[in-house]
Amino acid sequence: MTAGMLISHKLDRLARNRADDVEINRAFEDAGVRLVSTSENIDQTPGGMLLHGIMSSIAEFYSRNLANEVIKGMGEKARNGGTLGKAPLGYMNVRARDENGREVRTIALDEERAPLIRLAFTEYATGNWTVRQLADHLNTLGLTIPPTPRRPAKSITATRLHEILRHPYYKGIVTFQGVEYPGKHEPLVDSQTWQTFQTILTSRRYGERQRIHNHFLKSTVVCGQCGARLSVQNAKNSKGTIYPYFVCARRCRLHDCAFTAVLIDVVEDRIVELYRAIELSAEDRTQIEHYLHDELAQIEGDKAKAVRSLTTRRTNIEDRRRRLLHAHYEGAVPLDLLKEEQAELSTELNQIERQLAAYQADAAEVRQYLTQALDLLEDCHRLYTAAPAHLKKLLNQVFFDRVLVNPLVDEDGWVILPDQGDGVTDSGKQPGKDAGAHDGQYSAGEKRTGDANGGGGADADTPILMPRPVHLADMGSGARLSALLVPPFDQLISPSLHAAAHTHHLHHPAQPGASATPPTADDTLMSSTTRTTPTPVGERCSSSGTASQTFSTGVGLGKSLLVPEGGLEPPRPLVGH
């Protein structure tokens, strides 16, 4: 049975878009149904159809105008620091009275949940928790999502906690249409701590999952060809013997990587040799520590001038941000341009804040951290070989950003460093000979990318320093490793720092009673690029741009070790250069 008519109270109850109204009425005509409005006098006459079209256009205008007014009101509220919509977890929507006695809706801290949210931020910033572990811990402490009339209170999930950790509202920022405004609510975390765990969250974006075949190197080693994580795969021969291999996770998933499986035992042995390679001798450690302490004293002397310069730049950038925001309010700057400029200024401001924080650091604390880093480097090989698997994983995370297994080399013999995680573009190159060279040696060097002013904070004559890989090759097994160390270890092992420290030692010898061994008469500047303690697994050389020869420290059975130049170049000319 087909209905003869459809009754609607008003046309705007049926559709508030002209195109939707046309489609709906076409469907009514096809079904033989007549539309009747109880409020408007519409029929199938030409006059009734004209009135129908006019009323439909008015309904569309009303809807769009209402949306614009709502957006305008929300934008004004955001600019004034107000909270839009429901309060995030840790806050409550409350009603209060203003100074005139009028009732206003505002935001207050949730006394039950705010301390737990604050705890989540501070604990995750330590780097000792995963999001899932922290969510479970907060659930045991009693953190729940508030109940609603339809849903009871429920525990927090890792996904919800991840959203909370990413939300800028908790550092006192209100966002609307991609633009950030300072909020009137009380922040639960300061900007510096918030930025710290943003960095941690980003660095763990491609973190390994806990699989059945777990291994302590899975958080460190990556495919040298695409940059993807390496997973564990067990192969069994006809006799039932199991051989564990590292395989490229991207190749297993997308089949677009040429990485061949490598025995885990071989990679483990090469990692041990990496620790032997970066280990400092007692004499090198003493010279570097003496040199860096003198450089720190020089920096302290120039501290006041640098802080004034950075403070002035910070004030100028903040003024530019305010002028830009006022220009947007006046309609002179469109929203997309405001977002772009605001992002650039925020990046530059964050860099200046980091530099100011570095200058404000206590010199005694800096010296303490330097001593701790040198202590680790001086004893890292023994620590690693004696540590159990879970501590080896922690040591690898302390020293290495990532270790590339069997990296690619281009036609010029440069080792290509793939992007972290994606492995689709080149982030840098390290030179080397052809992988099939008979002598099994790799020349070491560097390429610097970016301009001196990149980043908004560097001086024009400041070099852009990239992480310098430590290359290790074993021609017996064919395995090659390129290790990217994390700061400050990448700088502390650089040959240029060793050369500068040795030259400084020659012209500023340590006081009597110091532990440093005096140099012999035939010591030369370039010999300081090698360790005083022979490294039996390879050879070291400075970069191709600063030296024309390689200094061997005991090449053994087809193995070669190369450390490219980089890091902590002296900020002022050294005596004798």
Question: What pLDDT score was predicted for residue 128?
Answer: 74
Element (H, E) at 504: helix 495-507
**Cβ pair 182, 191 in contact under 8 A:** no
Angle at 345 between CA 339 and CA 350, to 5 degrees: 125
How far, in Å, CA of 171 to CA of 169, rounded? 5
**Cβ pair 561, 471 in contact under 8 A:** yes
Q: Cβ contacts of residue 296 below 8 Å, gap of 6+? A: 363, 366, 367
How far, in Å, CA of 426 to CA of 445, rounded? 16
The tokens for 255 are: 């089949």
Q: Quote helix, strand, coil % in the chain, to nearest 5.
A: 45, 15, 40
**Cβ pair 182, 174 in contact under 8 A:** yes
Question: What pLDDT score was predicted for residue 527?
Answer: 35
Beta bridge partners of 8: 37
The tokens for 16 are: 């508030």
Give me the sign of the Cα torsion angle 52, 58, 64, 67: negative
Between strands 221-223 and 179-182, the pairing is unpaired
Between strands 400-405 and 479-485, the pairing is antiparallel
Question: What pLDDT score was predicted for residue 67?
Answer: 84
**Cβ pair 445, 565 in contact under 8 A:** yes
Q: 229: which DSSP letter?
A: B
Q: What is the phi/psi pair of residue 150, to 5°?
A: -105, -25
Q: What is the phi/psi pair of residue 562, to 5°?
A: -130, 135
Angle at 455 between CA 570 and CA 543, to 5 degrees: 40
**Cβ pair 297, 277 in contact under 8 A:** no
How far, in Å, CA of 304 to CA of 311, rounded? 11
> How many CB atoms are closer than 10 A to CB 450?
12
The tokens for 442 are: 């790799």
State the Cα torsion 381-385-391-396 to the nearest 10°. 50
Among 120, 130, 66, smallest CA distance to 88 is for: 120
Q: Which residues of 23-41 are buried (b: 16+ CB within 10 A; e: fewer)?
A: ebbeeeeeeeeebebeebe
Instruction: Give the number of residues written for the chain.
Output: 577
Question: What pLDDT score was predicted for residue 246?
Answer: 92
The one-letter amino acid code at 458 reads A
- In three-state secondary structure terms, 539 is strand
**Cβ pair 259, 251 in contact under 8 A:** yes
**Cβ pair 462, 453 in contact under 8 A:** no
Element (H, E) at 317: helix 303-329
How far, in Å, CA of 490 to CA of 566, rounded? 8
Please count the helices (runs of H) and the strands (runs of E) in the chain.
17, 20
How far, in Å, CA of 244 to CA of 234, rounded? 4
The one-letter amino acid code at 92 reads M
pLDDT tens profile 285-337: 999 999 998 888 887 778 888 888 889 999 999 888 888 888 887 888 888 88
**Cβ pair 431, 445 in contact under 8 A:** yes
Question: What pLDDT score was predicted for residue 413?
Answer: 65
CA distance readout (Å), 150 to 89, 110, 139, 147, 159: 18, 21, 22, 8, 22
Q: 87: which DSSP letter?
A: P
Using CB atoms within 10 Å of the CB of residue 549, give its burial: 0 to 12 exposed, 13 to 18 middle, 19+ buried.
exposed
Question: What pLDDT score was predicted for residue 557?
Answer: 29
How far, in Å, CA of 41 to CA of 49, rounded? 10
Q: What is the phi/psi pair of residue 159, to 5°?
A: -65, -45
Q: DSSP for 46-74?
A: HHHHHHHHHHHHHHHHHHHHHHHHHHHHH
Between strands 551-552 and 559-562, the pairing is unpaired
Beta bridge partners of 37: 8
CA distance readout (Å), 101 to 81, 104, 217, 410: 21, 9, 64, 74
Q: What is the 3-state secondary structure (H, E, C) of 223-267?
A: ECCCCCEEEEEEEECCCCCEEEEEEEHHHHHHCCCCCCCEEHHHH
Q: How far apart are the first and last CA of the chain?
A: 101
How far, in Å, CA of 347 to CA of 353, rounded? 10
Question: What pLDDT score was predicted for residue 519?
Answer: 37
In this prediction, the residues of the chain whose per-residue pLDDT falls under 70 are 1-3, 203-213, 413, 420-468, 473-476, 510-577
